[in-house]
Structure 1
């Protein structure tokens, strides 16, 4: 049985870097997979209480959870197709422009996809361009705007790559722990041991949710039912 992973999620203020209203710095928030892992359905519309109520419905009602999962998968597929239609340039200069034109909701996806190219060489290219603009003898409004854009992009990408690398490490641990639970012959004893070691977390549960959704999508009813039981057992020991 495969244990799956997913993209990381966060939040940004601008719709893209090229906007006159953008004022750095910005903070990135990173979380592991869960229901609506990329915020594909948008922010809650009715406040904190409504969000908690919907979460409780997801926990208790398998049909609601399955319908919600189906909706999320459809929207994720639409997003995936749109994102993958964009082709990043091969050189650093082109990659800078590519990120400057990337919408905020796609930034985490692009960081994950292009992480191998976000190297010291790339950030050195950004640093050199910034230095040239800052110390230019005659600075124009366009140059000043470019500095703001590059500084914001540099900050977000540096924080994003750091957060992505940390999330990858956390995901490895979550996979190992979930596999230990799924393969255990005495799951209750295993869960108790993991509680004592503080090894049960929302990351493990979210990863299990992803596996359940994947099994349902592939019509693996027995596997989905088995993991639903495991999920119910985990919920006895952790607080959502």
Structure 2
């Protein structure tokens, strides 16, 4: 039997972090908040970028028809993943709350979710007290400069993004703890069908449990545990019949 995966998948909190990019009149003279697009099209194969569901479907159809475009797209995704992993390894975690604010302000929008998960214990009362202290100084300054106005916008957006990110992360972590217990119960059950039916009655078969099972299947495949992976694939099919959330 494959060992139960302990890794935590990234939470879906992109809406919270996009606040940093949507703030009206937002300017960053001293820092770069870079958004890297994975829809890379250097040769103009796919035409001008578009938004919306219809545009995404058209983009998908073009990728399916054009092997070169698909390979370019997948290559860009791989390169972006390597770039982000290298960036994570290169960053030094600061010691003080004030430095941690600057650390988050210098964090790319796509990486905020990861950094919130990694630094969750540091995002405490001391951290938010430092943000509020700096916000108070800026809001009640007698002679505000343009840089001070920019800083105020940055800090307000950052505070909101981190608060929403923490809320999403804490909920995800709670769901994962429950899912780990449920998956352990299933994998150690002597009567799998009875266990699944019992869990259905308690509404314990959900998407969080399915996601954790997928992590275990992927782990088993990486470690060449073919029998365990096959068993869990079969289990996944059975769970899909009962999934409610």
- Structure 1 CA distance for aligned equivalents of residues 202 and 126 of structure 2: 41
State the partner residue of 2:181.
176
Total equivalences in the alignment: 203
Q: CA deviation at 1:78?
A: 5.9
Q: CA deviation at 1:15?
A: 7.1
Q: CA deviation at 1:223?
A: 1.3
* TM score, norm. by length of structure 2: 0.72
Is the Cα contact below 8 Å between 1:212 and 1:224 reproduced in 2? yes
Q: CA deviation at 1:77?
A: 6.5
Partner SS for 2:14: coil
Per-residue deviation, residues 4-38 of structure 1 (Å, max 9, x unmatched): 33232321487794x6x6349xxxxxxxxxxxxxx
Select which of 134, 142, 149 maps to 1:144: 149
State the partner residue of 1:30.
none
Partner SS for 2:11: coil
State the partner residue of 2:72.
none
State the partner residue of 2:228.
223
- Structure 1 CA distance for aligned equivalents of residues 17 and 171 of structure 2: 24
- Structure 2 CA distance for aligned equivalents of residues 110 and 127 of structure 1: 20
- Structure 1 CA distance for aligned equivalents of residues 131 and 17 of structure 2: 20
Q: CA deviation at 1:226?
A: 1.3
| 2:169 is the alignment partner of 1:164 | yes
Is the Cα contact below 8 Å between 2:217 and 2:232 reproduced in 1? yes
State the partner residue of 2:4.
2
- Name the stretch that deviates more: 86-95 or 128-137: 86-95
- Name the stretch that deviates more: 183-192 or 6-15: 6-15
Decide whether aligned partners of structure 1 residues 162 and 108 sit closer, same or farther in structure 2, where only a CA change above 3 A counts.
same
Decide whether aligned partners of structure 1 residues 183 and 74 sit closer, same or farther in structure 2, where only a CA change above 3 A counts.
farther
The runs of at least 4 consecutive aligned structure 1 residues that moved more than 6 Å come to 13-16, 40-45, 72-75
State the partner residue of 2:238.
233
Partner SS for 1:46: helix
Q: Name stretches of at least 5 consecutive residues in structure 2 with no aligned partner.
A: 26-36, 40-50, 62-76
Decide whether aligned partners of structure 1 residues 77 and 218 sit closer, same or farther in structure 2, where only a CA change above 3 A counts.
farther
Q: CA deviation at 1:166?
A: 1.9
- Structure 2 CA distance for aligned equivalents of residues 172 and 14 of structure 1: 24
Larger Rg: 2
Decide whether aligned partners of structure 1 residues 13 and 212 sit closer, same or farther in structure 2, where only a CA change above 3 A counts.
same
State the partner residue of 2:139.
134
Is the Cα contact below 8 Å between 2:203 and 2:244 reproduced in 1? no
Decide whether aligned partners of structure 1 residues 198 and 41 sit closer, same or farther in structure 2, where only a CA change above 3 A counts.
farther
| 2:89 is the alignment partner of 1:99 | no
Task: Give the CA RMSD over aligned residues.
Answer: 3.2
